[in-house]
A and B are shown apart, each in its own frame.
Chain A
Amino acid sequence: MDNQTSVYDIMDVCLLAGKIMLQSGAETYRVEDTMMRMATALGIGQTHSYVTPTVILFSIEETGAAKTKLIRISERTTDLKKVAMVNSVSRKISSGDTGLLEAWTELKEIEAAKLTYSFMYQLAAAAVASGCFTIMFKGSWVDFLPSVAAGGGGFLCAVYFHRLVPVKFFSEFLASTIIGLLSFAFITLGLGQELDKIIIGSVMPLVPGLLITNAVRDLMAGHLVSGISKGAEAFLTAFAIGSGIAVVLSLL
């Protein structure tokens, strides 16, 4: 293998790892760190990377011209398992247990794999979490079941509308509107006691907690652009949820 191809191969492996991580909801600084470590372990000393939530730029400095590649990221989800798996691949490369080729095949497998819990599990988790949050925010146990139903319904709508219309803001807005309507229906039917507690609990699965934590961590690590754009995304989501609820409240 001549030198030219092998450098590009290393770049491809690093970029693939970075792409999977960024798409699965890892922090920006972790993506950069992982790509740099992998490149160093594979024998390239000088690398530069620039990662934002939508793009990865990766450049290798070598004798001769620097080689640079760019990858566009359009779809982002939350899949912490993939982050952990890519992380362990990068650890293996750093310790020298895995070569370039095995790493490539392993990463390709991770990228293609569907590791998510089944939708029913996620729905159940969202529903149960909503109920628990109602209790945590000092609601009474009478309101537990109504918030399980409202939270589950809201999550279902958020996922369903997102499939229908791929605009995140819109699906969250609709979902929180439906949570508000459901909660109000439960109160009028006499199934629940406090409207506020039911709504707050049910809305929690939609709250952009991951984005907020990542935004703070990115800002602290000096990734100002990523931190601010993630913060903006979190703010938009919060605004969508808030206005959805506001619509219902103003109807009452």
Chain B
Amino acid sequence: MVYISQLVTSFVASAAFGIMFNAPKESLVKCGISGMLGWMVYFILEYNGYGTILATLAASFLIAVISQVMAKHYKTPIIIFSVAGIIPLVPGGLSYDAMRHFVEKDYIGTVTLAAKASMISGALAVGLVFSEVLNLVIRRSGKAPK
């Protein structure tokens, strides 16, 4: 039941972000799918206790790979597919918590949470970079035999 509601909401949220960023109409569903798959990986890993950092890394890597495949297949810029998927992974909740602790003058708590949030942003970036590198390697190895 939890999984179903997560599935539906992540699809709707990603597609809605597609609308806000003015993605072409025909790619809205694809935005939703890439966002949904990425979020499900994140959610399943996090739900089963693998930690948010690993979950974010895996999810952002998957989203970037899916977007690259879609971008190649539909001959559209990759950014259309990747942006909507990445947004749910941004550590908004943690940053909010950090801000909340800051306002309550719990500075040690603030630093702990902020450090966690920056670790997650780092994982997000590394996931994106990994797939970029993978893409480059594949493109190179594809070109070599010609």
B92 touches A200 (CB 8 A): yes
B9 touches A79 (CB 8 A): no
Known: A203-B96, A213-B83. A136 touches B6 (CB 8 A): yes
Out of A83, A203, A205, A246, which one reaches B20, CB within 8 Å? A205
A133 touches B88 (CB 8 A): yes
A216 touches B103 (CB 8 A): no
Contact residues in B for A249 (Cβ distance below 8 Å): 99-100, 103-104
> How far in angstroms is the closest Cβ of chain A from B130?
10
A199's closest neighbor in chain B, by CB? B96
Known: A125-B20, A212-B90. A83 touches B13 (CB 8 A): no
Out of A116, A129, A214, which one reaches B13, CB within 8 Å? A129
* Interface residue? A238 (CB, 8 A): yes
Q: Which residues of chain B from 72 to 98 have any CB-CB distance to chain A below 8 Å in the complex?
A: 75-77, 79-80, 82-83, 86-88, 90, 92-93, 95-97
A87's closest neighbor in chain B, by CB? B77
Q: What 0/1 pattern do residues 87 to 119 of B give for CB contact below 8 A with A?
A: 110101101110110111000000000000000
> How far in angstroms is the closest Cβ of chain A from B96?
5
A91 touches B75 (CB 8 A): yes
Contact residues in B for A212 (Cβ distance below 8 Å): 86, 90, 121, 124
A126 touches B16 (CB 8 A): yes
Known: A78-B22, A213-B86, A246-B103. A132 touches B77 (CB 8 A): no
Q: How far is the CA of A216 from the CA of B133 in the complex (A)?
A: 13
Out of A25, A82, A128, which one reaches B16, CB within 8 Å? A128
Out of A26, A122, A136, A196, which one reaches B79, CB within 8 Å? A26
A242 touches B21 (CB 8 A): no
> How far in angstroms is the closest Cβ of chain A from B45?
14
B10 touches A116 (CB 8 A): no
Q: What 0/1 pattern do residues 1 to 41 of B give for CB contact below 8 A with A?
A: 00001100110110011011111100100000000000100
Q: How far is the CA of A25 from the CA of B23 in the complex (A)?
A: 11
Give the number of chain A interface residues (Cβ < 8 Å): 52
* Interface residue? A204 (CB, 8 A): yes
> How far in angstroms is the closest Cβ of chain B from A210?
5
* Interface residue? B44 (CB, 8 A): no
A245 touches B9 (CB 8 A): no
> How far in angstroms is the closest Cβ of chain B from A27?
6
Q: How far is the CA of A38 from the CA of B21 in the complex (A)?
A: 26
Q: How far is the CA of A243 from the CA of B96 in the complex (A)?
A: 10
Known: A133-B13, A217-B132. A204 touches B92 (CB 8 A): yes
* Interface residue? B128 (CB, 8 A): yes
Q: How far is the CA of A36 from the CA of B102 in the complex (A)?
A: 48
Q: How far is the CA of A8 from the CA of B65 in the complex (A)?
A: 39
Q: What 0/1 pattern do residues 115 to 146 of B give for CB contact below 8 A with A?
A: 00000010011001100100000000000000
Chain B interface residues (CB < 8 Å from chain A): 5-6, 9-10, 12-13, 16-17, 19-24, 27, 39, 43, 75-77, 79-80, 82-83, 86-88, 90, 92-93, 95-97, 99-100, 102-104, 121, 124-125, 128-129, 132
- Sample 10 A-B pairs with CB under 8 A, ordered by A number: A84-B27, A125-B20, A129-B17, A135-B6, A200-B92, A209-B17, A210-B21, A217-B132, A246-B100, A246-B102
* Extra A-B contacts (11), CB below 8 Å, given A88-B76, A125-B19, A135-B5: A26-B79, A30-B77, A78-B22, A115-B22, A117-B19, A133-B88, A141-B5, A216-B124, A242-B95, A249-B104, A250-B103
